[in-house]
Amino acid sequence: MRIEQIKAFLAVSETGSFGQAAKLCNVTQSTISRQVQGLENHLKTTLFHRQAQAKLTVSGEKLLPHARRICQEWEKVEEKIQDLLGGKQPELCVAAIHSVCAYYLPPILQTFCQCHPHVQLRITALGSDRTLKVLRDGLVDIAIVMNNKYLTSTSEMIVKHLYYEPIKVMVSNNHPLATQKSVTISELAKYSQVIFKDGYGMQRIVQDVFASYGFGLEVAMELNTLDAFRGVIRQGNLIALLPELALQESKSDSSLAIIPIDMESINPLENQLTREVVLITTKDRFEIPTVRDFFNLVYEYGKKK
């Protein structure tokens, strides 16, 4: 059953004539007859008495009020979709990792709001895995996450590189490592660590790096906020590996020290431990003007950084 068949049925019931219904729908009479007949075949009943004037059968009378409601709802759906594709979107939902929400997005959000004053932005800070899940589930329009090619290399996603970001070590200012200009993985393996909770891309990076060097990772606790990381690290000998953007406030905190990591690599290009941050949406969402505008705004901002 198709909406054209419902519309043909209503046109005939309103005009009492297949010929007049064809004029009303701007199609040929044979098209109207074929659509009505298709609807009758689907319902396995006759809907009109085909006499000089087309009159509804009992089945046709039963169908009529439902057909009207179906068409009314369909018109509402068409209007909403056209509004969406025309840029009339009431809200835009973005999920991003915490450091991006805190330090990368604010100037972009201000610019977008100036250009789209009638669009309400909803920004949510989540771990990378959770962010990708809510994007796949249709709960957000755009995701900004640490790249995980196992989760982002699908045909329905549009993925754009934003930046590579060095990962450094945060320690208290009285930690044994605090005065060093750089530290190696073997030196870091001697200390218990504070890491992000499961579902955060940073946890995987830290685990993979230590495993690749053949060291076990001694985890003292798992956290999910930058304030909590700073508070715990200040207290003693624990260490935390964090991306540089997440360390902005820590750099001006005299109770903390930030130290680069020496990867001990023979390849100078691999001397730093980094993470890649990417911008993601789905192909169908990219067709929506407001989503496309925000996506392009974030991407262009990243190219200037």
Return the domain boundaries, the chain.
Answer: 3-85, 91-161+281-304, 164-275
CATH number, span 91-161+281-304 = 3.40.190.10
To the question of pTM greater than 0.85 for the whole model, the response is no
pLDDT for residue 305: 65
The Cα 8–Cα 188 span in angstroms is: 74
Q: CATH topology of 91-161+281-304 equal to that of 164-275?
A: yes
pLDDT for residue 264: 67
Under-70 pLDDT residues of the chain: 83, 87-88, 264-271, 305
Indicate the CATH number of 3-85 among 3.50.50.60, 3.20.20.70, 1.10.10.1800, 1.10.10.10.
Answer: 1.10.10.10
How many whole angstroms from its chain centre is CA 253?
34
The Cα 3–Cα 10 span in angstroms is: 11
Contact 240, 195 (CB under 8 A): yes
Write out pLDDT tens, residues 32-84.
999 999 999 999 999 999 888 899 999 999 999 999 999 999 888 887 777 67
Closest CA to 113 of 142, 91, 135, 96: 91
Cβ contacts of 289-294, under 8 Å, gap ≥ 24: 289/85, 289/86, 289/87, 289/89, 290/87, 290/89, 290/92, 290/116, 290/119, 291/89, 291/92, 291/141, 291/142, 293/112, 293/115, 293/116, 294/92, 294/94, 294/108, 294/112, 294/141, 294/142
pLDDT for residue 269: 46
pLDDT for residue 266: 40
Write out pLDDT tens, residues 266-279.
444 456 788 999 99
Record the tokens describing residue 186, joined without a space.
């073997």
The single residue listed with the structure tokens 């262009």 is 300
Indicate the CATH number of 164-275 among 3.40.190.290, 2.60.40.10, 3.30.1310.10, 3.30.70.590.
Answer: 3.40.190.290
Q: Within 10 Å of residue 103's Cβ, how many Cβ atoms?
A: 16
Helix 29-43 vs helix 18-25: crossing angle, to nearest 10:
110
pLDDT for residue 152: 75
The Cα 76–Cα 174 span in angstroms is: 65
Alpha helical stretches, state H, the chain = 3-15, 18-25, 29-43, 58-85, 98-99, 106-115, 128-136, 149-152, 185-188, 201-212, 226-233, 248-251, 283-286, 289-304
The Cα 270–Cα 199 span in angstroms is: 26
